[in-house]
Amino acid sequence: MTERVYLLSEARGLSRDLLGGKGFGLSEMAAAGLPVPPGLVITTEACRQYLRRGAVPGLFEEVRAKMAALEGLTGKRFGLGEGKVPPLLVSVRSGAPVSMPGMMDTVLNLGLTLEGVEALARATENPRFAWDSFRRLLAMYGEVVLGERAEVFEGMLSALKEARGARADAELSAEDLEELAYRYLRHLEARGTPFPMDPWAQLQGAIEAVFRSWNNPRARTYRRIYGIPEDLGTAVVVQAMVFGNLGEDSGTGVGFTRNPATGEKGLYGEYLRNAQGEDVVAGVRTPEPLERLKDYAPTLYEELLQVAGRLERHFRDMQDFEFTVERGRLYLLQTRSGKRTAQAAVRIAVEMAEEGLISKEEAVMRVEANALPGLLRPSVDRDKAPRPFLKGLPASPGAAVGHAVFTNEATERYAAQGLPTVLVRPETTPEDITGMYLAKGILTARGGLTSHAAVVARGLGVPAVVGAEALKVFPEEGRAVAEGVEVREGDLLTLDGGTGEVYLGAVPLVEAAGEALLEKLLAWAEPFRRLGVRANADTPEDARRARAFGAEGIGLCRTEHMFFQEDRIPWVRRLILAETPEEEALALERLFHFQKEDFKEILLAMDGLPVTVRLLDPPLHEFLPPLEELAAKAEGGDEEAKRLLERARAMREANPMLGFRGARLLLLRPAIFRMQLRALLEAARELKEAGHDPRPEVMVPLVADPKEVERARALAEELFQEYGPIPFGTMIETPRAALLAAEIAPLVDFFSFGTNDLTQMAFGLSRDDAGKFLPRYVEEGLFPFDPTERLDEKGVGRLLRMAVEEGRRANPRLKLGLCGEHGGEAGSVRFVADLLDYTSASPFRVLTARLAAAQAGLSLGAPEPA
């Protein structure tokens, strides 16, 4: 039978998938001779067995055997002290193959009992430390294994501090902590979940609890957000405890080999004296920067510098490592590739390649393409900003404006109304993952730059300010107070995660500037990219921005977006109300001039590059005011409102998405078709006569039958005879069009897959309404992800692949693109990279599409660059 438990010294060479990230990192560090406390790893396979069966026969016997070896390595007995030799205590920590910081459970000081406390106090000559360690174990074990809420233990601790007049835990005496420990014990006994005084029972309970934590709500939410598979399981690391709470020559900290917010090379992190590891990441005390060690522990600081360099050279990536100092001696407890902002990811990848640590190809693959829009995040406009009312630590860059909320529930409530929020908390915990994901910004009163709030916000790409110590937060009351200013739920706040400043009200923001390092990374990526990248752009401004980001044309110009301006919408409504050919012609003539001028500007912005113009897609009644508004005006005597109301009622559809729109509208109201195409052709001709190089393409939306395409092509040919032909294509956005691709392909020059509608029709859902159930579907595993955000390869992808193959067979010259919102999502881009000629994305996601396409090219074995 394959072993399920390994000592760290035995685990070298085993995979990260088996050992989990924590166990893998520890085994690698131990093999490299770095100071790692001895320990053992229970594999992810054991976790998967436990989750399937509820038990793993024989596992605990294997654990006991390895624990005997651990006792030999440490010279201590588990849970039992003898004279000056303290008992062996262990930490029990989770460690998934993919980093999930804070999402699963940990128990420290395990093995300690009432008898063990006396032995620990005797061996260390420090009763306060012994009782402090025991009360921590009781609280963690009570929460993680026995199921009590953490707030219960925190409440008892706060009550004792208040009774003793203590501001911090460190001010409580040994006698105070002993009393607190007995309060915890009595509470657990009274609720029917007594704390076990058998160290081996503690160990078994903790291991099984860590296994179960793989499926706790916050871990499931985190996996859903980051697309982590549900079946990986977590390893469990059981490691000899070292203690940072033995006095001022002890402590605990978190270090990064480079700045995770900016990517700047150099030791970066935080340290807490006389503390245990959870104190830093939990954010309950604000630590000091590692640089302060230069002043009072220069030898330790130098050792950390050397460790950081060795870790980075060994793992060839920026490392996030946890450490403890026990009476002046350094121990490493974990290392992993550090979470970083998009800005830092680009800088680290480029600079590591230039340092020779990694290749340029690795640098290209290292950056998460979906994170690149984070580089384009806005900042506060300093010229228009008032004085900030609060200052904290700049934890995750970018600026955010939103309504203050204090709970997950409030964040969800505002998000359901489409309102941006800033989540305000004393400190965040893993339970806050849902609110953090939905919020536009995060603000905490406590915690440092490596606190839970900071790490998770950077990973999510959400601007965050942490450790704003002047802030007092009362979540249950829905309010916070700072410097005499009260903030209540719903009040607008602006925060700048790059400076740590927080403002009352909505402060104007300015867009981010371009990044030279990003341009260098994308220049390295370009030789590997096979897939073209265009932009979805409807205005000259969007077109210019997209071109600056490297778009190679416009793959989708939505003409209806040009009609909603204040001076144009009345003419659309006159078109809708037209009762005679003359009235219709007058309205169309005015709209023609608007469209022609817009087309000229867009074609000019993309001079020399293709611009695919989609003719009118939505139903005409979408250009009318809401029925309720029209009815109110009509009742007030507005004659035009009365006419519009009558027409709106006549045009009203039960399901407009499947109604009189797209090709159906254009073919039955051909004057609209001719007006739009003439405006495009006229704009191109005028530009060409002026010496420019316009390259328009025309596209008909929402076809379901070849006959529709034939009729549309015939209408277009009438104008092509006058102006000359341009590429003519159609959107493939109905399942029937995909199934009949072989019949449609000979009639067109190109297909563009409109995956927004293709997804909705394939799934039988509406994007506008699916928010009521899709999140729960994903949360409960009915769908692996939200198909409106990421292309469904299994179903929609099959339709797409079928249409591509059959369309190309029928028309070998057929050009193929994707223009739905999926065109700027990295996973979707990688799926179509070997299928299509180009993808089209919104301007700010062009960078994502370019990088994702290059990464796909590398994965597919693109030729080496010259």
Answer whether 847's CB lies under 8 Å from 829's CB. Answer: no
Phi, psi of 120 (to 5 degrees): -70, -40
Query: Under 8 Å CB-to-CB from 610, ≥6 apart: which residues?
Result: 534, 552, 553, 554, 695, 696, 697, 727
Q: State the DSSP code for 749.
A: S
- CB-count exposure of residue 46 (10 Å: 0-12, 13-18, 19+): buried
Helix (H, G, I), strand (E, B) or coil at 400: strand
Helix (H, G, I), strand (E, B) or coil at 705: coil
181 is written with which tokens? 């420990």
Helix (H), strand (E), coil (C) string for 453-499: HHHHHHHHCCCEEECCCCEEEEHHHCEEEECCEEEECCCEEEEECCC
Quote the CA–CA distance of 448 and 444 in Å, as a whole number. 10
Quote the CA–CA distance of 786 and 789 in Å, as a whole number. 6
Quote the CA–CA distance of 133 and 112 in Å, as a whole number. 8
Please report which helix (H) or strand (E) contains residue 268, including its range: strand 265-273
Helix (H, G, I), strand (E, B) or coil at 839: strand
17 is written with which tokens? 């998938």
Q: Sign of the C-alpha dihedral, residues 294, 298, 302, 307?
A: negative
- CB-count exposure of residue 635 (10 Å: 0-12, 13-18, 19+): exposed
Answer whether 276's CB lies under 8 Å from 108's CB. Answer: yes
Helix (H, G, I), strand (E, B) or coil at 61: helix
Query: Under 8 Å CB-to-CB from 577, ≥6 apart: which residues?
Result: 583, 643, 644, 647
**Nearest Cα to 26, choosing from 48, 11, 42?**
11
**Nearest Cα to 187, choosing from 154, 157, 226, 142?**
142
Pairing, β 485-488 against β 479-482 = antiparallel
Quote the CA–CA distance of 866 and 851 in Å, as a whole number. 19
Q: State the DSSP code for 669.
A: S
Active site residues: 452, 819
Answer whether 591's CB lies under 8 Å from 575's CB. Answer: yes
Answer whether 251's CB lies under 8 Å from 271's CB. Answer: yes
Q: State the DSSP code for 359.
A: -
Query: Under 8 Å CB-to-CB from 306, ≥6 apart: which residues?
Result: none
